[in-house]
């Protein structure tokens, strides 16, 4: 008895020390990661409220002497040409991304469900074939897809991008959603079908609500992918009034002198929809990535 | 009146038959247990009756309707699943209401029926909870409630008790039996536990390898197993089976063990033994029909004690006769030791003889 009583607390203390060591290491790591990801954003924000002159100073002004919202006013003012362009690009991006997202959910949900629930000839082959596209760098398909889009008469229309982003986003969406459907016990659907639902009703009323986190995660993934894509948008669209934000913002560079505060303000506003989406749907997204399942 | 009939029902996956030429009739109000080891086709059979998977061939009728090609929702059945399959996003109330909503009943009628079912199963206080907030036994009741709320023609139950702990299982066993009695319901119940089948069912259908082995009352299945599989599957501890040979000796037929011992037979048993064309026979006996002797005695075969398991009111012993294990139950006052030589006497009226080749029970005829 006495030996146990003597050794136990010391043992515990040592174990706690080790746990604390790991915990502190983890915290330091998180802080480093936080700075690494947040500092560029903060710098972007700070630059966006400087004057053009202050942004170019060296050594840099860590904190703007005369903060100004002039860049934002310029970008959001439909009266001047910069504002007109920016708002049009913004709208184009929103349109392409939203249509891509909606279509990708409409296609991915039934496709993933079919892969998850039905057995049909060539199921495994098809499932991996879906992934084939992702095994190559996206640029490889640039020229072939451009030729294809020209044949289809879609060059210089947003639909060329919608189609392209769909083919890029769908594989992962289908994989992600299939994982979700796999984790929903098939007995739930069977119960619903016995309770009086058709197969489709069972899917809509029982399976869909349970896989909402997965569907939302998939939608966010598609949206962000489409929202940020640059190289295809740059290749497929030439007309100024068709450009999406990533390409449009790049225009700020190509003019004679780079308007850094303007560029940063535009970049910041471009990240707003993504951040808002993320914050609003964050709890679903995190649940989707960590859990990916319905508990019973 | 909901009689369920399966006629020559087959379900094939490629060239393997999960369910092979099964025919059986469940009368109205009967409690039938489909029982067998894992993979014997019992759950597949239930899913075929439910319409969750299509038949390869055959016909199923419920009541006077052929339902072979009907959707599950049109078969007027209810099902209780092994994992309960409660809708996790719905409250207990909505789980119970779901089958009624799907049948487009008016709201007040749904409410009345849900509350009635909840009262029967004593789950009224749980109606607002989510399934994950319930214990296993409570989830089980809700699953039963969802089945009975609709007053279906047939209840299908797929191992409903196997996720419960031992004590709760015994309690729910009697509750389901009571449920059957009160509702006068037709129930088809799948289980791998022969004890559940024997204790609850009016009739049991023993399946193995997709084939229906025997379909009869538990008492008959227990007393007259049709082959060695049924004999060894039903009853606990299992029936002891000893491979022997029928040999002629002085105008009589006797059984000869691998170890050289001989067992004389009664006239009836001799006639049975003679029907084995190969002469190979499996001798079967239940633990309670055997007598233990500590010295050699006529009509007893020699063996050696392997293990002794006292349970309090009865002691079970496993005894090796040649290479076969024989289970025997003893009065707790009998003390025997492992490796002790013993002799076992068979009850000629209650022993079973099976054909060693076909495994079928031999009849005196």
Residue A290 pLDDT class (50, 70, 90 cuts): low
**What pLDDT digit, counting tens, does each position of A184-243 carry?**
889 999 999 999 999 999 999 999 888 888 888 888 888 988 998 888 988 888 888 888
Residues B222 and B246 in one domain: no
Query: In chain A, what residues touch B102 (CB-CB under 8 Å)?
Result: 195-197, 201
Total domain count, chain B:
2
Residues B241 and B225 in one domain: no
Residues B145 and B202 in one domain: yes
Global ipTM: 0.83
Q: Specify whether the CB–CB gap between A296 and B132 falls below 8 A.
A: yes
Boundary (domain end) residue, out of B162, B194, B229: B229
Return the domain boundaries, chain A: 2-48, 73-290
Q: Classify strands B291-293 and B4-13 as parallel, antiparallel or unpaired.
A: unpaired
User: What distance in Å separates the CA atoms of residue B234 and residue B191, rounded to the nearest whole number?
Assistant: 12
Residue B364 covered by a domain: no
User: What distance in Å separates the CA atoms of residue B262 and residue B257, rounded to the nearest whole number?
Assistant: 6
Residue A4 has pLDDT above 90, yes or no: no
Residues B205 and B247 in one domain: no
**B98 to A195: CB separation less than 8 angstroms, yes or no:** yes
- What percent of the residues of chain A are helix, what percent strand, and what percent coil, each to the nearest 5? 80, 0, 20
Residue B208 covered by a domain: yes
Residues B56 and B101 in one domain: yes
Q: Number of CB pairs < 8 Å for A and B?
A: 62
Residues B62 and B86 in one domain: yes
Q: How far is B28 from chain A (nearest CA, A)?
A: 20
Residue A286: its pLDDT value, please?
64
Residue B293 covered by a domain: yes
Query: In chain A, what residues touch B150 (CB-CB under 8 Å)?
Result: 195
Nearest CB partner across the interface for A190, out of B85, B99, B102 = B85
Residues B337 and B208 in one domain: no
Q: Give residue for tokens 């700070």.
A: A46
Query: In chain A, what residues touch B78 (CB-CB under 8 Å)?
Result: 194-195
> Chain B: residue nearest A189 by CA?
B85
Residue A107: its pLDDT value, please?
93
Residue B365 covered by a domain: no
CATH number at residue B17: 3.40.50.300
Residues B199 and B52 in one domain: yes
**What pLDDT digit, counting tens, does each position of A13-67 carry?**
666 666 688 888 999 999 999 999 999 989 888 888 888 777 777 788 788 788 8
CATH of domain A73-290: 1.10.3720.10
Residue A295: its pLDDT value, please?
43
Residue B315: its pLDDT value, please?
93
Contacts of A64-72 with CB under 8 Å at 24 or more apart are A70/A261, A71/A259, A71/A261, A71/A262, A71/A264, A71/A265, A72/A48, A72/A265, A72/A269
In degrees and rounded to multiples of 5, residue B14 shows phi and psi of 65, -125
Residue B363 covered by a domain: no
Residue B299: its pLDDT value, please?
82
Q: Give residue for tokens 């504002």.
A: A83
Residues of chain B with pLDDT under 50: none
Residues B174 and B272 in one domain: no
Query: In chain A, what residues touch B47 (CB-CB under 8 Å)?
Result: 190
Residues B163 and B283 in one domain: no
CATH number at residue B254: 2.40.50.140
Residues B69 and B127 in one domain: yes
Best probe of the B interface among A118, A191, A208, A291, by most B CBs < 10 A, is A191
Q: Specify whether the CB–CB gap between B144 and B158 falls below 8 A.
A: no
Query: In chain B, what residues touch A187 (CB-CB under 8 Å)?
Result: 81-83, 85
Residue B362 covered by a domain: no
Q: What is the pTM of this model?
A: 0.79
Residue B333 covered by a domain: yes
Domain that holds residue B120: 4-229
Boundary (domain end) residue, out of B185, B203, B229: B229
Residue A294: its pLDDT value, please?
42
Boundary (domain end) residue, out of B229, B252, B284: B229
Residues B20 and B37 in one domain: yes
**A197 to B89: CB separation less than 8 angstroms, yes or no:** no
């Amino acid at each position: 008895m006495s030996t146990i009583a003597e050794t136990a607390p010391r043992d515990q203390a040592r174990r706690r020390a080790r746990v604390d060591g790991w915990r502190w290491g983890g915290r330091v790591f998180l802080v480093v990661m936080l700075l690494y990801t947040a500092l560029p954003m903060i710098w972007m924000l700070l630059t966006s409220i400087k004057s053009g002159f202050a942004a170019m100073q060296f050594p840099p002004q860590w904190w703007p002497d005369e903060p100004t919202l002039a860049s934002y006013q310029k970008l959001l003012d439909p009266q001047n040409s910069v504002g007109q362009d920016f708002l049009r690009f913004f709208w184009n991006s929103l349109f392409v991304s939203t249509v891509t997202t909606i279509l990708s959910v409409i296609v991915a949900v039934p496709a993933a469900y079919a892969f998850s629930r039905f057995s049909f000839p060539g199921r495994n082959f098809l499932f991996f074939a879906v992934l084939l596209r992702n095994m190559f760098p996206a640029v490889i398909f640039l020229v072939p897809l451009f030729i294809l889009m020209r044949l289809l008469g879609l060059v210089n229309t947003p639909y060329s991008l919608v189609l392209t982003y769909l083919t890029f986003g769908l594989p992962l969406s289908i994989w992600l959603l299939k994982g979700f459907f796999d984790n929903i016990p098939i007995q739930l659907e069977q119960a619903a079908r016995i309770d009086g639902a058709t197969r489709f009703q069972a899917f809509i009323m029982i399976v869909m609500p349970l896989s909402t986190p997965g569907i939302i995660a998939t939608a966010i993934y598609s949206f962000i992918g489409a929202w940020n894509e640059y190289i295809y948008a740059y290749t497929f669209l030439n007309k100024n009034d068709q450009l999406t934000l990533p390409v449009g913002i790049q225009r700020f560079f190509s003019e004679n002198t780079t308007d850094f505060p303007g560029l940063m303000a535009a970049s910041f506003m471009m990240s707003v929809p993504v951040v808002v989406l993320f914050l609003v749907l964050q709890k679903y997204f995190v649940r989707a990535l960590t859990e990916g399942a319905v508990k019973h | 009146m909901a009689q369920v009939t399966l006629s020559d029902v087959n379900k094939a996956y490629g060239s393997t038959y999960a369910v092979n030429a099964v025919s059986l009739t469940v009368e109205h109000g009967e409690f039938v247990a489909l029982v067998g080891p894992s993979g014997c086709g019992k759950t597949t059979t239930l899913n075929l009756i439910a319409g969750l998977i299509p038949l390869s061939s055959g016909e199923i009728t419920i009541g006077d309707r052929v339902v072979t090609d009907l959707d599950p929702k049109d078969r007027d059945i209810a099902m209780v699943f092994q994992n309960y399959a409660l809708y996790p996003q719905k409250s207990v109330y909505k789980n119970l209401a779901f089958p009624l909503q799907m049948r487009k009943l008016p709201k007040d009628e749904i409410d009345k029926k849900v509350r009635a079912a909840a009262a029967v199963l004593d789950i009224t206080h749980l109606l607002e909870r989510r399934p994950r907030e319930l214990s296993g036994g409570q989830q089980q009741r809700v699953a039963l409630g969802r089945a009975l709320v609709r007053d279906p023609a047939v209840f299908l139950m797929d191992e409903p008790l196997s996720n419960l702990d031992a004590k709760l299982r015994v309690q729910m066993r009697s509750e389901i039996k009571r449920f059957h009695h009160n509702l006068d319901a037709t129930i088809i119940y799948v289980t791998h536990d022969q004890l559940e089948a024997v204790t609850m069912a009016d009739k049991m259908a023993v399946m193995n390898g997709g084939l229906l082995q025997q379909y009869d009352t538990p008492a008959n299945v227990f007393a007259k197993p049709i082959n060695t599989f049924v004999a060894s599957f039903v009853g606990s501890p299992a029936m002891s089976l000893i491979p022997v040979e029928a040999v002629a000796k002085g105008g009589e037929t006797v059984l000869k063990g691998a170890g050289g011992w001989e067992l004389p037979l009664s006239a009836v048993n001799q006639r049975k033994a003679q029907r084995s064309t190969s002469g190979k026979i499996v001798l079967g006996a239940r633990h309670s029909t055997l007598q233990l002797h500590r010295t050699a005695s006529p009509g007893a075969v020699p063996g050696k004690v392997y293990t002794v398991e006292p349970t309090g009111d009865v002691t079970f012993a496993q005894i090796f006769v040649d290479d076969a294990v024989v289970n025997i139950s003893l009065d707790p006052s009998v003390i025997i030791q492992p490796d002790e030589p013993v002799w076992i006497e068979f009850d000629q009226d209650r022993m079973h003889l099976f054909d060693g080749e076909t495994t079928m029970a031999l009849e005196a005829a």
